[in-house]
């Protein structure tokens, strides 16, 4: 099963006899005071026909707290949200967002982690779609998906610390946050000691599409992935890191996600913090 789908392939599938369930996961990280991005309003203003809006903060994450800004949601609540969006276990799902694939990849990861067998991310997001857009909201039949967590590997803080010593822990945030030069969201800047900087921007081409699998494999090899290397990824709160897990998947490299990420790690003053470009 491919983890991504092109806009032309999606158009063909939507016109076919068994169209996928289509989810709009538009979301933006806001680091400044003021009006938050309203994904639901953006969806109503224009979306791929048939797409149902899913709220990342409400449906793909639990309330912020000691576990980070976007901890795992309650499984029952997540399942109810997916069924309300029309997700069924025997029907393919395609997810998209409006940016670098962060939010869509979080939805992809959540559905795959809880056992859905066929989920793909629209490569390039809404910007890649050349067909007409629909407005308003979509009516959809309730699905039957029942989440069963555990299908993908998951890290907690202790597991991430250990992996940084025994395998390869990738930090998917921008380089300046990794180095601790700026920190717009969390208590302190820097990175998990031993983690390697691997910004998600380098997974994409200038057009916003994922790089070819061979290029991604070369990128991760240069960062330290070798045969048998155990790999994990974190970011600020487990959203952009999901995009990096997706990129690794495209390259044929399984990777675990540290969902709590830096927002959890840095909230505990007893955990060590490294700064600068040196992993240690």
Instruction: Tell me how crowded residue 134 is: count the other CB atoms within 10 A of its CB.
Output: 15
* Calpha distance 250→204 (Å, rounded): 12
Instruction: Tell me how crowded residue 129 is: count the other CB atoms within 10 A of its CB.
Output: 20
Which residue in 163, 172, 235, 241 is the catalytic one? 235
User: In Å, what is the CA distance from 258 to each residue of 14, 17, 57, 135, 223?
Assistant: 34, 38, 17, 36, 18
Catalytic site residue 235? yes
Q: In the chain, at which residue ranges do the beta strands (DSSP E only) sit?
A: 4-5, 21-24, 52-53, 93-96, 119-122, 154-155, 168-171, 196-197, 231-234, 256-258
List the one residue out of 141, 173, 169 whose CA is nearest residue 157.
Answer: 169
DSSP string, 160-224: HHHHHHHSEEEE-S-HHHHTTS--SSSSS--B-TT-EE--GGGGB-TTSPBPPHHHHHHHHHHHT
Please report which helix (H) or strand (E) contains residue 90, including its range. Answer: none
Which positions are annotated as active-site residues? 235
């Amino acid at each position: 099963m491919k983890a991504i789908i092109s806009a032309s392939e999606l158009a063909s599938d939507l016109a076919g006899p068994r169209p996928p369930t289509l989810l709009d996961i538009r979301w933006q990280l806001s680091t400044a005071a003021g009006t938050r991005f309203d994904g639901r309003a953006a969806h109503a203003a224009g979306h791929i026909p048939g797409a149902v809006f899913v709220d990342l903060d409400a449906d793909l994450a639990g309330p912020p707290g000691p576990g980070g800004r976007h901890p795992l949601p309650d499984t029952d609540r997540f399942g109810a949200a997916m069924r309300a969006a029309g997700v069924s276990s025997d029907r393919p799902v395609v997810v998209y967002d409006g940016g670098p694939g962060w939010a869509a990849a979080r939805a992809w990861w959540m559905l795959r982690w809880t056992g859905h067998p066929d989920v793909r991310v629209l490569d390039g997001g809404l910007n890649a779609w050349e067909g007409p857009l629909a407005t308003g909201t979509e009516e959809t039949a309730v699905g039957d998906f029942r989440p069963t967590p555990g299908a993908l590997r998951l890290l907690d803080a202790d597991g991430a610390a250990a992996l940084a010593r025994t395998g390869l822990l990738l930090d998917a945030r921008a380089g300046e946050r990794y180095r601790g030069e700026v920190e717009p969201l969390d208590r302190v800047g820097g990175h998990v000691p031993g983690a390697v900087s691997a910004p998600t921007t380098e997974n994409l081409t200038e057009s916003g599409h994922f790089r070819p699998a061979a290029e991604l494999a070369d990128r991760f090899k240069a960062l330290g992935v070798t045969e048998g290397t155990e790999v994990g990824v974190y970011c600020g709160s487990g959203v952009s890191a999901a995009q990096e897990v997706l990129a690794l998947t495209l390259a044929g490299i399984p990777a675990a996600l540290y969902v709590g990420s830096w927002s959890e790690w840095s909230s505990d003053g007893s955990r060590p913090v490294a700064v600068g470009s040196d992993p240690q």
